[in-house]
Amino acid sequence: MINREIKFRGFDNENKQWVYGYYTKLPDGATKFDYIISDIDGSLTKFYIEDIKTIGQYTGLKDKNGKEIYEGDIVKSSIHDKLWVVEYRTDTEYVGFVLKEIGEDYISTFTSWRDVEVIGNIYENPELLKINK
């Protein structure tokens, strides 16, 4: 089991930037957006996330360059000439973060992926989702 910091990221449309911190989900039917709370210079700041699909959890892992890996990231392995999407799964076969090969149903757990590099994410780089097809 991986001990990891529980944090999230989401895209703040107002400031056109990714924000990182704690995720607060509003109750169903609420009129405001979910938000990420970040500690910025010792004070908590609330960033409303208009598109909640951009909210992704930190996996607790870093890529080969030391960059944090989040749900929704697109990664490339130096061993395989394929691109993968980081997903959180809760189906009967997998529970936790996995790599899903783009264009395929193939899933790999992180235990076999020590050499991945984050090259984008599914929100800012949707063109990468067509690479393996």
How confident is the model over 2-42, as pLDDT tens digits? 566 789 999 988 889 999 988 887 777 666 677 778 877 77
**How is the chain split into domains, by residue range?**
8-53, 57-130
How confident is the model over 54-82, as pLDDT tens digits? 999 998 888 889 999 999 999 988 777 78
Label the pairing between strands 68-70 and 56-62.
Answer: antiparallel
Return the HEC string of 46-108.
EEEECCHHHCEEEEEEECCCCCEEECCEEEEECCCCCEEEEEEECCCCCCEEEEEECCCCCEE
Paired tokens of 16: 């056109």
Q: Which CATH number fits domain 57-130: 2.30.30.790, 3.30.2420.10, 3.90.1150.10, 2.30.30.290?
A: 2.30.30.290
